[in-house]
Amino acid sequence: MAATGSLFDDFSDLVRARRTSMMVDKEREVPAEVVAELCGLATWAPNHKKTWPWRFALFSGDGRARLGETMSADMTSADFGDDVKRAKTRTKYLRTPATLVVGVAAHDNEMLHRENRDAVAAGIQNILLGATTLGLATFWSTPALTQPPGVLELCEFDPTDRIVGVIYLGWAAGDCPVPERPQLQIAHITD
């Protein structure tokens, strides 16, 4: 029997409605309390061995420029990218009123190290879906460097942590195209 019921329908609509978008009201602040609630949802993601590996750092106001300057300096130290890319990095976090850096803790066990990242990625999806219900646009991006020492310090993360995503947040202002999904294929083995 196909899944039915209004809760499922509402959830399906929500999952499909979430978009990767930076079309936001640049002037309207995203309250830190709202972001804290969203980060709280992330902590309800499944997490093998309950390692609680997620790390969060919120940047708004001038903090966003500081994030850009620090990332750019880390790129220079790592000899990563060219002058154009580094200059772009300095200002890129100003594109939305809030930028959430989500990190993951390292683990000595190789499997748990990888699973920690899976748990954080699942947590990020909770954030994105929760944000969508509130009318917030979100954009999950991978930073140029995932272990930039200066940025990790700025975020108050451990030096061994890694960045899983930089999430741009702002109140949605406009729709963006919906990338269609490929035809669903499921192998179903019954005997």
Ligand X SMILES: Cc1cc2nc3c(=O)[nH]c(=O)nc-3n(C[C@H](O)[C@H](O)[C@H](O)COP(=O)(O)O)c2cc1C
**Cα gap 125→37, rounded to integer Å:** 14
The secondary element (H helix, E strand) that includes residue 119 is: helix 110-134
Contacts of 28 (CB under 8 A, 6+ apart): 97, 170, 171
Q: Smallest distance from the beta carbon of 92 to ligand X, in angstroms?
A: 11
Given candidates 13, 17, 20, 26, which one binds ligand X under the rule CB under 6 A? 20
Neighbouring CB atoms inside 10 A of 138's CB total 25
Given candidates 5, 159, 174, 179, which one binds ligand X under the rule CB under 6 A? 179
Contact stretch for ligand X (CB under 6 A) within 4-12, 65-73, 83-91, 134-142: 134-142
Contact stretch for ligand X (CB under 6 A) within 48-56, 73-81, 110-118, 137-145: 137-145
Q: Which residues of 45-63 are buried (b: 16+ CB within 10 A; e: fewer)?
A: bebeeebebbbbbbbbeee
Given candidates 13, 142, 153, 175, which one binds ligand X under the rule CB under 6 A? 142
Torsion sign, CA atoms 34, 166, 43, 137: positive
Give yes or no for residue 43 binding ligand X (CB under 6 A). Answer: no
Given candidates 12, 43, 133, 141, which one binds ligand X under the rule CB under 6 A? 141
Give how many residues touch ligand X by CB under 6 A.
7
Give yes or no for residue 140 binding ligand X (CB under 6 A). Answer: yes
| 3-state DSSP assignment of residue 95 | helix
Give yes or no for residue 76 binding ligand X (CB under 6 A). Answer: no
- Give 24-47 as a DSSP string: B-TTS---HHHHHHHHHHHTTS--
Q: Smallest distance from the beta carbon of 135 to ligand X, in angstroms?
A: 16
Binding site for ligand X (CB under 6 A): 19-20, 140-142, 165, 179
